[in-house]
Amino acid sequence: MFFLIFIFLFFYIILSSITHISKSLFYLKKMTLISLILFTGISFSTYTAEEIEKKENTGFFGTIKEIDEKITNFLDSIKDYKANSVGFFETEIPANEVFITSDGFIVYDKDRESLVSGVVTERDEQGNMISATKVKNGLVHGKYREYYPPYDEHILKREGKFKNGALNGKNKTYYENGEVESIIVFSGGIPDGTFKEYYRNGKLKSKGKYEKGKKTGKWTYYHQSGEKESEGKYKNDEKIKVWKYFDNNGNLKDEVRHSFL
């Protein structure tokens, strides 16, 4: 009798341990799944408490396998998509599959039947990015980027933003060596705000301000050495009042009065 009781207790302890381990594994997998969802910010599957309970009744290891397969499939879909896109879950549209109007801002499908939304891209024969521009309902809208060849080196040529088909906000151009060439602020497709231009060595070449597409206020130009070359004021794109001119060492060499008021 004592022997039978001992055997019963022995198997009871073993079964309890297996159940405990199985539950631990299940909740570990569950936490892994939750962590993945929180990290990516995307939910591809959810389970209610009732559904989890039903799955538990069919066996812990079966549930773990099912969730594990969902995770694997989800990660594979991300990997495949990112290899063929320019942004996370953006719709890429090759440039040769769209029709772009002469002004470059209205984009239709290749049959000219409907307006395009997505990221219009241009790639070389090896698939390297030449340019990428966001389009919304046929209008260039959002960030754009263009690169220098060879395109596999991803050397940025220019970048900026469009809003409803027009350049808007800060836009930058770059030299092949990666140095900034210019920074200009646009509004409604025309320069309207601060402007800076640089030499290839990174030193400032000129700075000033645009108002509705025309130079206005104080502008300063520099020699490549960094010394001032000239400075004065503009009004409606015309020089006004006294302009000063300097030699390569920054010494004043001339003053010119402009008659435009």
State the CATH number of the domain containing residue 170. 3.90.930.1
Cis, peptide link before residue 94, omega less than 30° from 0: no
Contact partners, residue 65, CB within 8 Å, separation at least 6: none
Q: Does residue 225 belong to any structural domain of this protein? A: yes
pLDDT tens per residue across all 261 residues of the chain: 554 554 445 545 544 544 444 444 334 333 333 333 333 333 333 444 444 344 444 444 444 444 445 444 444 443 443 344 444 345 788 877 777 665 655 677 677 677 888 888 888 888 888 888 888 888 888 889 999 999 888 899 999 999 988 899 999 999 999 999 999 999 999 999 999 999 999 999 999 999 999 999 999 999 999 999 999 999 999 999 999 999 999 999 999 998 755
Other CB atoms within 10 A of residue 253 CB:
11
Q: Does residue 179 belong to any structural domain of this protein? A: yes
Q: Does residue 107 belong to any structural domain of this protein? A: no
Domain containing 163 equals 119-258
Q: Does residue 240 belong to any structural domain of this protein? A: yes
Other CB atoms within 10 A of residue 133 CB:
24
Print burial letters for 208-225: b (CB count within 10 Å at least 16), e (below 16).
bbbbeeebbeebebbbee
Sequential DSSP letters for 85-98? -SSTT--EEEGGGE
Distances (CA, A) of 256 to 48, 208, 214, 238, 250: 80, 19, 21, 14, 17
Q: Does residue 26 belong to any structural domain of this protein? A: no
Q: Does residue 159 belong to any structural domain of this protein? A: yes
Domain count, the chain: 1
226 touches 204 (CB < 8 A): yes
Q: Does residue 129 belong to any structural domain of this protein? A: yes
Q: Does residue 136 belong to any structural domain of this protein? A: yes
